[in-house]
Amino acid sequence: MTAAQISAHTTADPAAQDPYRLIPEVFAHYVRAADHRDPQRMSALFAPEATVRIYYRGAGEPELLAELTGAATIGAAVAAGMAPHPPLGWSHHTLLNPIVTVEGDQGAFDAQFIVYNAHGLARPAEGWPPTAFGAQGTIVPIECGYARAQLQRERTRWLITELVIEHDLPYAFPAP
């Protein structure tokens, strides 16, 4: 990489940075906001009138499970529509194999996702047994599918205007 290319990646002006790096970074913030159940951080990633549609892909036609409109509604859904973490537990949303396309101020992001639940074991009052070694607990994948998004550059940052989440497994939302 040349000095000019490195400088373009490290400049304080996000508009001068490579959109092929900035768009995946939007989704790095997205998965962290989901993991933290943080409605403010989540809504800040979306355009004011953005939409999110969630589907179950199943064996036939995709089944629409939910549709959300507006950045505030999308952010609020993170806190209300996701199970809280149990004691010693956490979730990790991961996006894999992203495909990013950019045409001017329009961008697209297409990736596979897997969500893992991590649940730690409580340290026994008498301490770990002598045979214990390494991380104590379980990591279980709980969701997988595809996330496809459209983005718009707004001044110096990229905002999600449309997100389609396609689950490979049946999905149940909590009762209101």
CATH label of the domain that carries residue 162: 3.10.450.50
Inside any domain, residue 176: no
Look up the domain containing 137 and give its range. 14-167
Is residue 120 one of the residues assigned to a domain?
yes
d(CA 96, CA 130) in angstroms, rounded, equals 38
Residue 2 lies in a domain: no
CA torsion 79-75-171-51 (nearest 10°) is 170
- Which pLDDT tens digits describe the chain residue by residue (176 residues)? 333 333 344 445 554 588 999 999 999 999 999 999 999 999 999 999 999 999 999 877 899 999 999 999 999 999 888 888 899 999 999 999 999 999 999 999 999 999 999 999 999 999 999 999 999 999 999 999 999 999 999 988 999 999 999 999 988 776 66
Residue 98 lies in a domain: yes
- Tally the domains of the chain: 1
Closest to 174 measured CA to CA, from 59, 65, 42, 69: 65
Query: The pTM is what?
Result: 0.86
